Amino acid sequence: MKKISVVGFGKIGQAIVANMLQNGIHVVAVDINPELKQVFDSGAYSSSEPGLAAALNQYYKDGALTITHDFAAVNDSAAVIVAIPLLVDKQKRIMDEPFLDCFKQLAPHFHDNVLIVIETSIPVGYGRNTVVPAIESQGKQHGKDFLLVHSPERIKSGTMLDQLLRTPKVIGGVSTEATAKALEIYTWFFDEKLIHLVDSIEAAEMVKLAGMAYRDVNIALSNQLAAFAQKIDVDFANLIPLINTDGEAFLLQPGIGVGGHCTPVYPYFLINNFKEAGLDFDLASRSRVINDGMAEHAVSLANPHVHEKNALILGLSFRPNIKEDTFSTSYLLNEALQSHGFRVQLHDTEFSAEELVRKGFTACADVYASGAEVLFLVTMHKEYASLDFKRLAASGVKVIIDGRNQLNSNTIEDAGMRYIGIGR
Ligand SMILES: NC(=O)c1ccc[n+]([C@@H]2O[C@H](COP(=O)([O-])OP(=O)(O)OC[C@H]3O[C@@H](n4cnc5c(N)ncnc54)[C@H](O)[C@@H]3O)[C@@H](O)[C@H]2O)c1
């Protein structure tokens, strides 16, 4: 039986495991979190990803999926796919140790050129110059005991199983032998037409990071154009679909900021790569400053219209109706508002009040009883589309800053409040 180990059974790990199981592979999921196995054993596992819980629960029951925290369990797998995060600190500096420790713990079980795949996004050169030496420091040798490739995971929460069926799978190895082995194994669970081999591991590393830098720069451009448009009273957000009809422009929407563990983080990997190469990726650096500065910009939009400095933020998640808050814009907005003397509450449909308090916010349980004078929409959770604006106005809200340009300005103004979008 074909057997593959996946190390890191989180959001990405669970999706790629389900895809393998659906292709008849026996999967060993290794995760340091011992609760994962208990959750599956008790039948309590659930997921907001369509189809994921049903698939994983069934394969686990059938015995095709093994869940363990024992690294030795990877021993007889054809490949070990690693999907644990490469953590960064608040300043977005890489914290090497937890990531490399994982490879050091796995290394004793590498033999006979087992395929090792990093699916986690990593800086260019990190696989060859940092991960290979970490494994070799444990007495193992590339080309004899293991073969390393990088295959950046480019799917996003929300419809992961579906995206796995159509997102091109990029693979680049430390050696041609590594890449060839990866091609053979990945065709077990990917349509060969989806697999794109690139010349080196560095090329594969660059694919994901370049895509992320593109997205961040694109949003920064929109944010700057939005600020100008607002000054000359042009509704820029509504113009974007029209701008994009020229067949060459692909402008993204401006917004109150860019959250998540990808877009606001990975440009820094490339910025550092440029530095190491004696270059300055000033375009990406400036874009980071512009996008992180949108929180402050949003406060400046509200400031002329408020008197009581009492604000309510709607949304912590960085993606609608997905419970993920890594580097959410709401953290920056909360800080910016407080530095301007605002009292700030936060409401989110995905997080409980206790969770919000643990994350450092003052939680708001009822948006109609916050007493806030200004409301900032950060996340377009579907529930916020049906807010009762008349009730909000009656509760004292005077201004709504629509950080996603998705609320109905007419309804808000008809209810007697001021509507301000980003670039509208
Ligand atoms: N979540 C996304 O939308 C997304 C999208 C594309 C790519 N990625 C990439 O996938 C990586 C993982 O993301 P995720 O969302 O699955 O993270 P996650 O936090 O949901 O899951 C990570 C899992 O790894 C486990 N883990 C951590 N350290 C470990 C170790 N040393 N050994 C074994 N298990 C360990 C954790 O317990 C957790 O279950 C990201 O860093 C990113 O590079 C994520």
Residue of the nearest CA to atom 9 in ligand 1? 120
> What is the structure's pLDDT at 1?
83
pLDDT at 233 over 90: yes
pLDDT tens column, 201-225: 999 999 999 999 999 999 999 999 9
**CA-to-CA dists, residue 64 to 59, 319, 369, angstroms:** 5, 32, 50
Half-sphere exposure of 168 (CA within 13 A, CB side): 9
CB-based burial, 319-338: b 16+ in 10 Å, e otherwise: bbebebbebbbbbbbbebbe
pLDDT at 363 over 90: yes
> What is the structure's pLDDT at 157?
87
Q: Please indicate whether the domains covering 3-207 and 294-421 agree at the CATH topology level.
A: yes
The CATH superfamily label for domain 294-421 reads: NAD(P)-binding Rossmann-like Domain (3.40.50.720)
pLDDT tens column, 168-207: 999 999 999 999 999 999 999 999 999 999 999 999 999 9
Confirm or reject: Cβ of 11 under 6 Å from ligand 1: yes
pLDDT at 91 over 90: no
Residue of the nearest CA to atom 37 in ligand 1? 33
pLDDT tens column, 326-342: 999 999 999 999 999 99
Confidence of residue 81 (pLDDT cuts 50, 70, 90): very high
pTM equals 0.94
Q: In what order do the strands lie in the sheet with 343-347?
A: 343-347, 310-314, 374-377, 399-402, 418-421
Confirm or reject: Cβ of 299 under 6 Å from ligand 1: no
pLDDT at 17 over 90: yes
> What is the structure's pLDDT at 134?
98
Q: Look at the domain 3-207 and name its fold.
A: Rossmann fold (3.40.50)
pLDDT at 410 over 90: yes
Which value, in Å, is the radius of gyration of the alpha carbons in the chain?
A: 24
**Close Cβ partners of 240 (under 8 Å, ≥ 6 residues apart):** 222, 251, 252, 253
How large a percentage of the chain has pLDDT more than 70?
100
Q: What is the mean pLDDT of the chain?
A: 96
pLDDT tens column, 27-71: 999 999 999 999 999 999 999 899 999 999 999 999 999 999 999
Confirm or reject: Cβ of 31 under 6 Å from ligand 1: yes
Residue spans of the domains in the chain: they are: 3-207, 294-421
Confidence of residue 272 (pLDDT cuts 50, 70, 90): very high
Confirm or reject: Cβ of 6 under 6 Å from ligand 1: no
Average pLDDT rounded to a whole number, residues 233-237: 94
Average pLDDT rounded to a whole number, residues 318-330: 93
How many angstroms separate the alpha carbon of residue 402 from the centre of ligand 1? 31
> What is the structure's pLDDT at 90?
83
Contacts of range 284-290, beta carbons closer than 8 Å, 24 or more positions apart: 284/213, 284/216, 284/217, 286/220, 287/213, 287/216, 287/217, 287/219, 287/220, 287/221, 288/216, 288/220, 288/264, 290/220, 290/223, 290/224
